[in-house]
A and B are shown apart, each in its own frame.
Chain A
Amino acid sequence: MVLLTNPIYSALSLGLVLVCISLFYILSNSHFVAAAQLFIYVGAINVLILFAVMFMNGSEYYKDFNLWTIGNGLTSLVCTSILVSLITTILDTSWYRIIWTTRSNQIIEQDLLSNSQQIGIHLAIDFFLPFEFISIILLVALIGAIVVDRQ
C-alpha cells in the first residue's frame, strides 16, 4: 500500500486492508466490532480519504518518481528493527501463564447474551461517561469541519 505510486491505488488497497481486518474481528469472536469496522472505516473513512485524494491535483503525481533516498533507507532500517524487537518480545512472552494467573470467574448468565448485547450493557452502565464524551467530540468535530470548510 505504501509502495504504490498512484494515490488512488493506494487508497483502494487501504480499503482492501480494512475489509480484511474486519474479517479478523469475526475470527476473534467480536462481531459487533467487525460490523462497526465495516460500516465506519470502509464505508465512511475510506470514502472520505478517496474524496480527499481526488480533490488534489492529479497531474502532479505521475511525475512524482519514487526516489530511494537516504531518508527512506534509514526509515526502513529503523522500522525493520522495531518490527524485529516487537516480534522477539512477542515470541518470548509466555502468554498462557498470564491467562492462567488472571483467569476471572465468569458470571453464568452472561454466557447467554450475544456479543453486541454485552457491548450495549457495558456501554450503558460501566462506560457511560466516555460514551457521552465521544458523542460531544463527534459533534464538535462536525461543527469544526464545516466552519473551516466554509471559507
Chain B
Amino acid sequence: MMLEHILVLNAYLFSIGIYGFITSRNMVRALMCLELILNAVNINFVTFSDFFYSRQLKGNIFSIFVIAIAAVEATIGSTIVSSIYRNKKSTRINQSTLLNK
C-alpha cells in the first residue's frame, strides 16, 4: 500500500514538472522544472530499491548518479542562460536563435 502511494505521488510530481517545463516563458523556470522531473524519477528509483532489493541497493546507486548528472546539467544550463542573457538582454524562450553569432 505504501509503494503505490509513493508511486502516485511521483507520477503527480512528474506531470507537474512536465507541465511547468512546457508552459514556461522563462528559461530559468524551465531549468527548475527539469530538476523537479529528475527528482521525481529519483524517488521512484529509491522506492523500488527499498522494496525489491533490500540489501543490494542497486536503485540507490543509480539515483546517486542521477543526482550528479543533474548537478552537472544545472551548472551548464545556467551558464548557457547567463551567456544568452548577456548577449541579448532577454530570456524569452521562444527566441531560439539566440546563440547564433
Binding site for B on A (CB under 8 A): 1-2, 7, 10-11, 14, 17-18, 21, 24-25, 28-30, 32-33, 36-37, 40-41, 44-45, 48-49, 51-53, 55-57, 60-61, 64, 71-72, 75-76, 79-80, 82-83, 86-87, 90-91, 95, 98-99, 102, 104, 106-107, 110-111, 115, 118-119, 122-123, 126-127, 130, 134, 137-138, 141-142, 144-145, 148-149, 151
Contact = CB atoms under 8 A, between A and B. Distances in A.
> Do most interface residues of chain B lie in helix, strand or loop, or is the interface mixed?
helix
A86 B78 contact: no
Contacts of B74: 45, 48-49
7 contacts: A11-B28, A24-B6, A28-B46, A37-B42, A99-B52, A106-B55, A151-B83
A79 B64 contact: no
B12 to A, nearest CB: 6
Contacts of B83: 148-149, 151
Contacts of A18: 35, 39
B33 A30 contact: no
Interface in B43-99: 43, 46-47, 49-58, 60-61, 63-65, 67-72, 74-76, 78-83, 85, 89-91
